[in-house]
Amino acid sequence: MSALSMKRGKQVTERGNISILLVCEDQIECAGMVALLSNDRGISIVGDASSAAAAQRMISALNPDVVLCSERVLSHQTVELAEVIAARPKDAKPIYLIILLPSLNEEDIELLRIDRCIVLDRRLNSAELVAAIRVTAAGYLPVRSDLAGNLARASVSLKGASGTAGQQVKNLTKRERRVFELMIQGLSNPEIAADLKVAESTVKSHVQGILTKLNLRDRIQAVIYAYEAGLVRRSFQLTRGSLTAC
Protein backbone atom coordinates (compact mmCIF):
# COMPACT_ATOMS: atom_id res chain seq x y z
CA MET A 1 0.00 0.00 0.00
CA SER A 2 1.32 3.44 -0.92
CA ALA A 3 1.86 5.81 1.98
CA LEU A 4 -0.16 8.47 0.13
CA SER A 5 -3.11 6.13 -0.41
CA MET A 6 -4.04 6.00 3.25
CA LYS A 7 -7.28 7.87 3.93
CA ARG A 8 -7.34 10.18 6.94
CA GLY A 9 -9.16 8.75 9.95
CA LYS A 10 -9.54 5.33 8.35
CA GLN A 11 -8.22 1.95 9.43
CA VAL A 12 -5.19 0.51 7.66
CA THR A 13 -4.68 -3.25 7.58
CA GLU A 14 -0.94 -3.75 7.32
CA ARG A 15 0.38 -6.58 9.48
CA GLY A 16 3.10 -6.49 12.11
CA ASN A 17 3.87 -7.16 15.76
CA ILE A 18 3.51 -3.59 17.05
CA SER A 19 0.31 -1.79 16.02
CA ILE A 20 0.44 2.00 15.77
CA LEU A 21 -2.20 4.71 15.48
CA LEU A 22 -0.62 7.83 13.96
CA VAL A 23 -1.74 11.32 14.92
CA CYS A 24 -0.44 14.02 12.55
CA GLU A 25 -2.03 17.34 11.60
CA ASP A 26 0.03 17.55 8.41
CA GLN A 27 -0.94 15.00 5.75
CA ILE A 28 2.48 15.11 4.09
CA GLU A 29 4.18 14.43 7.42
CA CYS A 30 1.73 11.58 8.01
CA ALA A 31 2.57 10.04 4.63
CA GLY A 32 6.25 10.29 5.43
CA MET A 33 5.76 8.59 8.81
CA VAL A 34 3.74 5.80 7.20
CA ALA A 35 6.44 5.26 4.58
CA LEU A 36 9.14 5.22 7.25
CA LEU A 37 7.44 2.88 9.69
CA SER A 38 6.01 0.57 7.05
CA ASN A 39 9.56 -0.39 6.11
CA ASP A 40 9.82 -2.20 9.43
CA ARG A 41 8.15 -5.61 9.25
CA GLY A 42 7.57 -5.61 13.00
CA ILE A 43 5.35 -2.53 12.88
CA SER A 44 1.77 -2.18 11.64
CA ILE A 45 0.12 1.17 10.92
CA VAL A 46 -3.48 0.40 11.86
CA GLY A 47 -4.85 3.90 11.32
CA ASP A 48 -4.21 7.63 11.35
CA ALA A 49 -5.97 10.70 12.65
CA SER A 50 -5.56 14.40 11.98
CA SER A 51 -6.05 15.35 15.64
CA ALA A 52 -5.79 13.93 19.14
CA ALA A 53 -9.56 14.30 19.50
CA ALA A 54 -10.12 12.11 16.44
CA ALA A 55 -7.59 9.58 17.73
CA GLN A 56 -9.44 9.39 21.02
CA ARG A 57 -12.58 8.28 19.15
CA MET A 58 -10.62 5.64 17.22
CA ILE A 59 -8.77 3.96 20.09
CA SER A 60 -11.55 1.58 21.12
CA ALA A 61 -12.02 0.23 17.60
CA LEU A 62 -8.34 -0.06 16.69
CA ASN A 63 -6.88 -0.97 20.12
CA PRO A 64 -3.30 -0.09 19.08
CA ASP A 65 -0.18 -0.87 21.08
CA VAL A 66 1.17 2.65 20.58
CA VAL A 67 -0.40 5.99 19.70
CA LEU A 68 2.28 8.08 18.00
CA CYS A 69 1.44 11.79 18.05
CA SER A 70 3.58 14.40 16.30
CA GLU A 71 2.95 18.05 17.18
CA ARG A 72 4.66 21.41 16.75
CA VAL A 73 2.93 22.78 19.85
CA LEU A 74 1.41 20.68 22.61
CA SER A 75 -2.39 20.88 22.45
CA HIS A 76 -4.96 20.47 25.21
CA GLN A 77 -6.52 17.68 23.15
CA THR A 78 -3.28 15.72 23.34
CA VAL A 79 -3.13 16.12 27.11
CA GLU A 80 -6.71 14.84 27.29
CA LEU A 81 -5.75 11.90 25.07
CA ALA A 82 -2.89 11.05 27.44
CA GLU A 83 -5.24 11.13 30.41
CA VAL A 84 -7.79 8.91 28.65
CA ILE A 85 -5.12 6.34 27.81
CA ALA A 86 -3.79 6.39 31.38
CA ALA A 87 -7.32 5.88 32.75
CA ARG A 88 -7.94 2.67 30.82
CA PRO A 89 -8.99 -0.28 33.03
CA LYS A 90 -6.10 -2.18 34.57
CA ASP A 91 -7.27 -5.42 32.96
CA ALA A 92 -7.29 -3.83 29.48
CA LYS A 93 -4.39 -4.15 27.07
CA PRO A 94 -1.89 -1.38 27.83
CA ILE A 95 -1.68 1.38 25.24
CA TYR A 96 1.28 3.76 25.23
CA LEU A 97 1.29 7.33 23.96
CA ILE A 98 4.45 8.73 22.35
CA ILE A 99 4.32 12.49 21.80
CA LEU A 100 6.92 14.04 19.49
CA LEU A 101 7.57 17.71 20.26
CA PRO A 102 10.26 20.12 18.98
CA SER A 103 10.95 21.31 22.53
CA LEU A 104 9.75 20.71 26.06
CA ASN A 105 9.16 23.47 28.59
CA GLU A 106 8.35 23.37 32.28
CA GLU A 107 4.60 23.41 31.57
CA ASP A 108 4.85 20.47 29.20
CA ILE A 109 6.74 18.45 31.80
CA GLU A 110 3.34 17.89 33.44
CA LEU A 111 2.90 15.20 30.77
CA LEU A 112 5.54 13.12 32.51
CA ARG A 113 3.17 12.65 35.43
CA ILE A 114 0.74 10.75 33.23
CA ASP A 115 1.13 6.99 33.14
CA ARG A 116 2.14 5.44 29.79
CA CYS A 117 2.92 8.83 28.28
CA ILE A 118 6.34 9.41 26.70
CA VAL A 119 7.60 12.73 25.32
CA LEU A 120 10.38 12.64 22.71
CA ASP A 121 12.13 14.99 20.29
CA ARG A 122 10.47 15.51 16.90
CA ARG A 123 13.94 15.56 15.35
CA LEU A 124 14.72 11.93 16.14
CA ASN A 125 16.16 10.14 13.14
CA SER A 126 14.36 7.10 11.72
CA ALA A 127 16.45 4.53 13.59
CA GLU A 128 15.95 6.35 16.90
CA LEU A 129 12.20 6.60 16.35
CA VAL A 130 11.81 2.91 15.55
CA ALA A 131 13.97 2.02 18.56
CA ALA A 132 11.83 4.25 20.79
CA ILE A 133 8.65 2.58 19.53
CA ARG A 134 10.05 -0.89 20.18
CA VAL A 135 11.27 0.03 23.66
CA THR A 136 7.91 1.62 24.51
CA ALA A 137 5.87 -1.34 23.24
CA ALA A 138 8.05 -3.61 25.40
CA GLY A 139 6.89 -1.67 28.47
CA TYR A 140 9.95 0.50 29.06
CA LEU A 141 10.06 4.28 29.06
CA PRO A 142 12.45 5.92 26.61
CA VAL A 143 13.54 9.21 28.15
CA ARG A 144 15.02 12.36 26.68
CA SER A 145 18.51 12.46 28.13
CA ASP A 146 18.34 16.26 28.16
CA LEU A 147 16.02 15.91 31.16
CA ALA A 148 18.88 14.26 33.01
CA GLY A 149 21.63 16.38 31.47
CA ASN A 150 20.06 19.64 32.55
CA LEU A 151 19.29 18.31 36.00
CA ALA A 152 22.94 17.36 36.39
CA ARG A 153 23.70 21.08 36.45
CA ALA A 154 21.03 21.80 39.04
CA SER A 155 21.67 22.41 42.70
CA VAL A 156 20.23 19.40 44.51
CA SER A 157 19.79 19.21 48.26
CA LEU A 158 17.68 16.69 50.12
CA LYS A 159 17.91 18.90 53.20
CA GLY A 160 15.44 21.27 51.57
CA ALA A 161 12.56 18.81 51.70
CA SER A 162 9.68 19.59 54.04
CA GLY A 163 6.31 18.18 55.00
CA THR A 164 5.41 14.72 53.71
CA ALA A 165 8.31 14.69 51.25
CA GLY A 166 10.73 15.61 54.03
CA GLN A 167 9.51 12.73 56.17
CA GLN A 168 9.74 10.29 53.26
CA VAL A 169 13.30 11.38 52.51
CA LYS A 170 14.22 10.89 56.18
CA ASN A 171 13.10 7.27 55.83
CA LEU A 172 15.87 6.69 53.29
CA THR A 173 19.17 5.35 54.55
CA LYS A 174 22.26 7.55 54.25
CA ARG A 175 23.42 5.59 51.20
CA GLU A 176 19.95 5.70 49.60
CA ARG A 177 19.89 9.48 50.03
CA ARG A 178 23.18 9.78 48.19
CA VAL A 179 21.96 7.49 45.40
CA PHE A 180 18.75 9.51 45.17
CA GLU A 181 20.73 12.76 44.83
CA LEU A 182 22.73 11.24 41.98
CA MET A 183 19.54 9.91 40.33
CA ILE A 184 18.03 13.40 40.40
CA GLN A 185 21.19 14.79 38.82
CA GLY A 186 20.66 12.39 35.92
CA LEU A 187 23.41 9.85 36.50
CA SER A 188 22.86 6.34 35.16
CA ASN A 189 23.30 3.24 37.32
CA PRO A 190 26.83 2.59 35.98
CA GLU A 191 27.77 6.23 36.64
CA ILE A 192 26.38 6.07 40.17
CA ALA A 193 28.26 2.81 40.76
CA ALA A 194 31.49 4.45 39.60
CA ASP A 195 30.89 7.50 41.80
CA LEU A 196 30.20 5.41 44.89
CA LYS A 197 32.75 2.72 43.98
CA VAL A 198 30.22 -0.08 44.36
CA ALA A 199 28.82 -2.77 42.06
CA GLU A 200 26.09 -1.79 39.60
CA SER A 201 23.86 -4.50 41.09
CA THR A 202 24.14 -2.73 44.45
CA VAL A 203 23.01 0.52 42.85
CA LYS A 204 20.04 -1.21 41.20
CA SER A 205 19.02 -2.54 44.60
CA HIS A 206 19.27 0.94 46.14
CA VAL A 207 17.28 2.49 43.30
CA GLN A 208 14.48 -0.03 43.69
CA GLY A 209 14.43 0.54 47.43
CA ILE A 210 14.21 4.31 46.93
CA LEU A 211 11.35 4.05 44.44
CA THR A 212 9.48 1.72 46.79
CA LYS A 213 9.93 3.91 49.87
CA LEU A 214 8.91 7.06 48.01
CA ASN A 215 6.05 5.29 46.21
CA LEU A 216 7.42 6.22 42.79
CA ARG A 217 7.12 4.30 39.52
CA ASP A 218 10.38 5.22 37.80
CA ARG A 219 13.19 7.76 37.49
CA ILE A 220 11.02 10.31 35.71
CA GLN A 221 8.58 10.32 38.62
CA ALA A 222 11.60 10.70 40.91
CA VAL A 223 12.61 13.85 39.00
CA ILE A 224 9.09 15.28 39.26
CA TYR A 225 8.98 14.37 42.94
CA ALA A 226 12.27 16.20 43.49
CA TYR A 227 10.94 19.38 41.88
CA GLU A 228 7.66 19.27 43.78
CA ALA A 229 9.47 18.66 47.08
CA GLY A 230 11.82 21.58 46.53
CA LEU A 231 14.91 19.40 46.29
CA VAL A 232 16.09 21.06 43.07
CA ARG A 233 16.78 24.73 43.63
CA ARG A 234 16.67 26.21 40.13
CA SER A 235 14.52 25.87 37.03
CA PHE A 236 15.97 24.33 33.91
CA GLN A 237 15.89 24.76 30.17
CA LEU A 238 15.33 21.72 28.00
CA THR A 239 17.27 21.31 24.77
CA ARG A 240 17.61 18.61 22.18
CA GLY A 241 18.93 15.33 23.57
CA SER A 242 19.31 11.66 22.81
CA LEU A 243 17.45 8.77 24.42
CA THR A 244 17.99 6.51 27.37
CA ALA A 245 15.60 3.95 28.87
CA CYS A 246 14.34 3.65 32.43
The letter for the amino acid at 74 is L
- Please report, for the chain, how many H helices and E strands are present, in that order: 10, 7
| Per-residue confidence (pLDDT) for residue 125, from 0 to 100 | 84
| Per-residue confidence (pLDDT) for residue 45, from 0 to 100 | 92
Rounded distance between C-alpha atoms, residue 31 and residue 3, angstroms: 5
Phi and psi at residue 12, in whole multiples of 5°? -115, 140
Series of mean pLDDT values for 10-residue runs along the chain (246 residues): 34 61 89 87 90 93 94 90 90 91 69 81 84 82 56 46 68 89 82 92 93 84 73 43 47
Cβ–Cβ < 8 Å for 130, 120: no
Global model pTM greater than 0.75: no
Could you write out the DSSP letters of every residue in 43-98?
A: EEEEEEESSHHHHHHHHHHH--SEEEEE-SS--HHHHHHHHHHHTS-TTSPP-EEE
